[in-house]
Amino acid sequence: MDQFATALEHRLRTYFELISSRFGCLRKLDVLSLQETLLAESNLVEVYQDGLDVSLGNELEQFADPVIAFKDEEAEDVSREHFV
């Protein structure tokens, strides 16, 4: 059981790191520069070529404006994902 728990924990940690490295930029739209946003977008589009369009960077740039504008209204009891 200990081996199973350890292996499962390792897999979950690895999966979380992968997902965070790919989608973590969405949590930081208010602090990333345009260049960083476009780089993160191009990485996502490269991984998910069939599901994402190359215009994602421009869309994220436009989406960042309301995130920044309403940042002060972010409630402490709401997750960052729900706020965004």
Is pLDDT above 90 for 10? yes
Could you give the CA distance from residue 1 to residue 77 in angstroms, rounded to a whole number? 36
Tell me the domain boundaries of the chain.
2-83
Could you give the CA distance from residue 55 to residue 80 in angstroms, rounded to a whole number? 24
pTM for the model stands at 0.65
DSSP track, 13-36: HHHHHHHHHHHGGGGGTTT--HHH
Q: Which of 35, 24, 37 is nearest to 64 (CA)?
A: 37
Q: What is the rounded (10 degree) CA torsion for 2, 3, 4, 5?
A: 50
What is the tens place of the pLDDT at every residue in 12-66? 999 999 998 888 888 888 888 888 888 888 898 999 989 888 888 888 888 888 8
Specify the pLDDT at position 8. 95
